[in-house]
Structure 1
Amino acid sequence: MKCPLIINGAGGRMGATLVRLAQSDSELALAGVVVPSSRVQGLESLGCPFGKSLGEVLKTVKGAVVIDFTSPEASLGTVRLAAETGMAAVIGTTGFTPEQLDELRAAARQAPLFWASNMSVGINTLLAVLPELVKKLGPAYDLEIMEIHHNKKKDAPSGTALKLGECLAEARGWELREKACCCREGIIGERPREEIGLQTLRGGDVVGDHTIYFFGPGERIEVTHRAHSRDTLALGALRAAKWLHSQKPGKLYSMADMLMA
């Protein structure tokens, strides 16, 4: 049986990519799309219900998984609706505050919810192997992260960079919020030994580049992940939707949960 899917924010770049790939996936059925009021023209050709709000589309679509790559505020609306109705939702939005993430975790007790700051299988595999690299290299190696994204991205550092930073910090027994350095300017003195730099570049149409640096005595190791197209992230989200369709509420699921299943 096909997994029915609703794309929230189908008029955006990621939403349009999700619609295109969902239509070509034999295990998925595009059951509905949600777009802002200014972008509803021409959606009849998709052959599924559409509307200006998720609540409007849900009135005609039952049992679907929602995928949402919008904004923190809009995605929270999706999460709240999920908690009310029990619908399953895959959230790919970044830029949530700690308090907003707490709300996601609370809602996950009422509905199957999946959230990842990066849906790439490659990035999430990298997150699994980085701790071992940190531990084997030891404390003599300084840890830095550089991330590059397109000039339309609104949050910085990227959610992926923060996730990578948390991974490195945890491997060192640190809290990232206590050790992160996101800006260096002026006479700053020597680099503290217990610090993780997270630096940001923005420009052009870069989908997403992340490099982790290990600066050691006499050598440097660089581990880089480059997303060449949004298809990489969209395919991960579609895979998550198919997996989430058979899951129960109880926790905020992640890529790690899916990859280890």
Structure 2
Amino acid sequence: MTSIGIIGSEGRMGVALAAAIAEAGGRGCGVDKGGNILKLASESDVIVDFSSPVALESTLDACVAAQKPIVIGTTGLEERHHYLIDDAAADIAVLQTGNTSLGVTLLAHLVREAAARLDADWDIEILEMHHNRKVDAPSGTALLLGQAAAEGRGIDLTTGSERGRDGLTGARARGKIGFASLRGGTVAGDHDVIFAGPEEMITLAHRAENRMIFARGAVRAALWLIHQTPGRYTMPQVLGL
């Protein structure tokens, strides 16, 4: 029976992960703030972390010390966190993603393909909506989809995006990828990638009806990651894309 350690086991995603692990026939165990992460890593086959960016460094240190792979679904990561992940990936297998949903993973693939085939006459806008307790924007999933679009277009998302339009912003810049974030209610996660061309429009969309989709995807990723050598991995690799 595979043992999967959960960082933040009492949170909403932690509870969903425990259910998904049991559903898959595994054994789930976890820690929360102040818990012994190194002990959890030592006793688990793989770790899954959806907690917070603040806790990530100590979690990575524990996984490296215990030589255990880790799936990171935490959003709101900064550049320094990715450096830490790169360092850890030299010793252990690490899968980091803005979204563990299998549907979103496929959506990102389709977005990349569409962006590669539609030129800058087609404006790309990414609209996302989440529950009123979400603290970061744009969502990690929106950024993941934006990165897929940027890769398809062959541009740098950091300099090639527009966010938070307000007031007299002027005409839309050609070739930029736009983001808009909505917050309200209990929405688990809605994402639309809009390709607006001359007199026609294509929308690629995903609707999350329950956070169990993220938990099931994370468990599938964790079971796959156990068999990988040290390195940095992505959700498309789990699906063979």
TM-score range, shorter chain: over 0.9
Aligned to 2:119: 138
**Bigger Rg over Cα:** 1
- Going from structure 1 to structure 2, the CA distance change for 1:137 and 1:57 (only over 3 Å counts) comes to closer
Letter in 1 for 2:86: R
Partners of 1:193 and 1:254 lie apart in 2 by 30
Single out whichever of 71-80 and 117-126 deviates more from structure 2.
Answer: 71-80
Cα shift readout 1:173-216 (whole Å, capped 9, x = no counterpart) = 21011011111111111111121111111111111111011111
- Residue 190 of structure 1 aligns to a residue whose secondary structure is coil
Q: Is the counterpart of residue 115 in structure 1 residue 96 in structure 2?
A: yes
State how 1:151-190 maps to structure 2 within 5 Å: 151-190=132-171
Aligned to 1:54: 37
Aligned to 2:11: 12
Letter in 2 for 1:34: V
Shift of residue 80 of structure 1?
A: 1.7
Partners of 1:115 and 1:175 lie apart in 2 by 20
Query: TM-score when scaled to structure 2?
Result: 0.94
Aligned to 2:27: 29
For the 8 Å contact 1:69–1:75, the answer to whether it is kept is: no
The two structures, once aligned, show a CA RMSD in angstroms of 1.5
Q: Is the counterpart of residue 259 in structure 1 residue 239 in structure 2?
A: yes
Letter in 1 for 2:2: C
State how 1:240-255 maps to structure 2 within 5 Å: 240-249=221-230, 251-255=231-235
Partners of 2:176 and 2:192 lie apart in 1 by 16
Partners of 1:91 and 1:173 lie apart in 2 by 26
Number of paired residues? 241
Partners of 1:248 and 1:256 lie apart in 2 by 17
Shift of residue 58 of structure 1?
A: 4.4
Query: TM-score when scaled to structure 1?
Result: 0.88
Cα shift readout 1:87-119 (whole Å, capped 9, x = no counterpart) = 111111011112211210110111121111100
Partners of 2:236 and 2:108 lie apart in 1 by 9
Cα shift readout 1:66-103 (whole Å, capped 9, x = no counterpart) = 11100011122211211222111111101111221121
- Residue 5 of structure 2 aligns to a residue whose secondary structure is strand
Letter in 2 for 1:240: A
For the 8 Å contact 1:11–1:36, the answer to whether it is kept is: no
For the 8 Å contact 1:150–1:203, the answer to whether it is kept is: yes
**Of 68, 79, 84, the match for 1:87:** 68
Question: Which consecutive aligned stretches of 4+ in structure 1 deviate over 4 angstroms post-superposition?
Answer: none
For the 8 Å contact 1:92–1:117, the answer to whether it is kept is: yes
- Residue 145 of structure 1 aligns to a residue whose secondary structure is strand
Shift of residue 223 of structure 1?
A: 1.2
Unaligned segments of structure 2, at least 5 residues = none
Letter in 2 for 1:115: Q
Partners of 1:56 and 1:136 lie apart in 2 by 49
For the 8 Å contact 2:111–2:204, the answer to whether it is kept is: no
Partners of 1:195 and 1:153 lie apart in 2 by 26
